[in-house]
Amino acid sequence: MTKPTKIERIDTILWDRWLLVRISCEDGTVGIGEGGVHGWQRPTKTMVEVMTPYLLGKDPHCIEHHYQFLYRSSHFMGAVVQGALSAIDIALWDIKGKRLGVPIYDLLGGNTRHRVRCYIHVRGNTLEQLVQDAVAKAKQGFTAVRFSPWSPGFYLHKSYAEWAEAAVQRVGAVREAVGTGVDICVELHRQMNPAESIALGRRLEQFHPFFYEDPMLPDSPARMSDVQERCNLPIATGERFSTIFEFQQLLENKGCAYIRPDLCLCGGLTGCKKVAALAEAQHVKVIPHNPLSPVSTAACVQLDACIPNFALQEYTGESEPPKSELLKQPLQLEEGYLVVPQGPGLGIELNEDAIRRYPPVDKVLDTPLGYDGSVQDR
């Protein structure tokens, strides 16, 4: 039985493009978390600082209670609140695992797997560059790749026919290049309306995508359900959702085949374990969203290790600076799979030298404008 301790200090760290949170206890235990309102790290930092006075002096093991107190302290909620709560939640689980000497997944029911299958992003301004990158990633051992079916200037198309044909060509070329030994995942980034994405989805059926991601804005579960039913492709969505209630509505409407909770936005490990359970009851699998730092990746792997309905893990690559320098011992990648760490808590330790070496990089408002000058979604 561990001796009681209290939260003594909370530090917020703006590091490159990400927000890290470090919670220190009186007994010397330190937990690490990350807040994931992607691109809005400064407002999230402020929210953590607003929550800090409540947490100081509290028992770090009362994770659910602290979440409920802070979440329900105001009638007004939203992404910045949830990003801060997610960072705190992850750090408190890290503390609990370290104090008990076990990985977080052991505290959430035990492991259901020892390795986590990842998909890697592939990119290319031209068709040739996209194909080359996909083939290179397959040679590295990845068995799933994700990409946009458009070049970076997608929003300057003049007709739907031109737009859709470019998507068909890119998806078809990647499928032909990697063969059936690699799953392809197509990301629309909410850039089409329902009618457009349904029509395109039907044309992409021939290439058998593993998933068809965010074919429309996620605001309407009922309309997403219509797209899912009519395009005959497995939809993956949910990265923008910040509560279990949004996922409940999506699942009730049968709006997807895969859910994409972001652990650094949707309540941390606590919230996303609940989301995974909701999905399990609907025979829907989980593909955690992960565009952030290696801290986010480490948290995702702990969730992936303990849920039965895991499908794939988003992985953006962590072999290049600054990501490669953040952890003293990076997560182990083998043939496109992340090995689940056996160490206590998250199983990671921050490299303090790297923390000091990379200053914050603020978000730039570069919202795309279409050929006619109108605002486009991304």
Q: Is 289 a catalytic residue?
A: yes
* Rounded distance between C-alpha atoms, residue 220 and residue 249, angstroms: 9
Q: Yes or no: say if 32 and 351 are a contact pair by the CB < 8 Å rule.
A: no
Dihedral of CA 80/83/84/86: which sign? positive
- How far is CA 227 from its chain centroid? 23
Q: Which two tokens stand for residue 162?
A: 């031109």
Which position among 66, 189, 208, 283 bears the catalytic label?
A: 189
Residue type, 320: E
Choice among 38, 66, 157, 289 that is catalytic: 289
223 contact partners, CB below 8 Å, separation of at least 6: 194, 216
| C-alpha distances in Å from residue 346, one per residue of 53, 60, 91, 321, 334 | 25, 15, 9, 21, 19
Any idea what DSSP says for residue 94?
Answer: H
At 366, list the tokens: 């570069």
Type of residue found at 181: G
94: Cβ contacts below 8 Å, ≥ 6 apart: 31, 32, 33, 104, 345, 346
354-360 contacts, C-beta under 8 A, 24 or more apart: 354/322, 354/325, 354/326, 355/13, 355/15, 355/20, 355/326, 357/322, 357/325, 358/15, 358/16, 358/322, 358/325, 359/14, 359/16, 360/14, 360/15, 360/16, 360/17, 360/41, 360/42
User: In angstroms, rounded to a whole number, what is the distance separating the alpha carbons of residues 101 and 249?
Assistant: 38
Nearest to 214 by CA among 118, 136, 291: 291
DSSP three-state, residue 204: helix
Tell me whether residue 189 is one of the annotated catalytic residues: yes
Q: Which residues are catalytic?
A: 189, 289
